[in-house]
């Protein structure tokens, strides 16, 4: 699902105002100054809007790094 991954990374880079190169799978909230709690909420909201779905609260609590977010979106898209 490279297309979904690329789209998610693109959204994240836009919201966080960083290069896509910075957003490796293990980069987590707080690892870069641009990814704080406020930007995390904006990030989740932008992804939900772009893909036209809502994460459940349980899933949202588990979105801690780039890989978590990409995997959660791929699961929703493939349902």
- Segment 13-60, tens digit of pLDDT: 999 999 999 999 999 999 999 999 999 999 999 999 999 999 999 999
Q: Give the side-chain half-sphere CA count within 13 A for 43.
A: 30
Taking the C-alpha atoms of residue 33 and residue 58, their distance in angstroms, rounded to an integer, is 25
Label residue 37 exposed, middle or buried (CB < 10 Å: 0-12, 13-18, 19+).
exposed
1 has pLDDT over 80:
no
pTM across the whole model: 0.92
CA 35 to chain CA centroid, Å, is 11
Residue 64 · residue 28 · CB < 8 Å:
yes
Class (C level, CATH) for 2-77: mainly alpha
Q: Where are the domains of the chain?
A: 2-77
């Amino acid at each position: 699902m490279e297309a979904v991954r690329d789209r998610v990374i693109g959204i994240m880079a836009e919201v966080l105002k960083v290069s896509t190169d910075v957003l490796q799978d293990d980069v987590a909230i707080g690892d870069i100054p641009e990814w704080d709690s406020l930007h995390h909420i904006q990030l989740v909201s932008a992804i939900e809007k772009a893909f036209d779905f809502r994460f459940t609260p349980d899933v949202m609590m588990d979105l801690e790094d780039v890989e978590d977010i990409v995997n959660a979106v791929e699961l929703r898209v493939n349902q």
